[in-house]
Amino acid sequence: MLLQCLQQLNCLLSERYTNLNTYFQGHTFYHSRLQGHISRLYFKVAFQGHISRPCFKVTFQGHISRLNMRSRLAPKVDSQGRSRTYKPYLLV
């Protein structure tokens, strides 16, 4: 599930939380506590910072509706802090 994958990256992600409205486009740091029903959402996680203290910048694009429901994350997540960009897709 999405939360299980993001909890593994919790130490790598920022603790800053941004409230998401129904339509959101832009940049934010994804908090692992966020739960929601997310449809047509594509996001890309890019490596930033030194390899000893990696952080990941998450870019959201798409439609977000009705929070506090379950979401799933399909592909593998690179939790080793490698400097690469990948696009996981959220399945509803």
pLDDT digits (tens, 9 = 90+) for 31-70: 333 444 444 445 555 555 555 555 555 555 444 444 333 4
Q: pLDDT at position 11, please? A: 39
pTM above 0.75? no
| Phi, psi angle pair for 32, to nearest 5° | -70, -15
Q: pLDDT at position 52, please? A: 57
**Residue type for position 85:** T
Q: Spell out the residues 6+ positions from residue 44 whose beta carbon is closer than 8 angstroms to its own.
A: 58, 59, 85, 86, 87
Bridge partners of residue 30, in order along the sequence? none
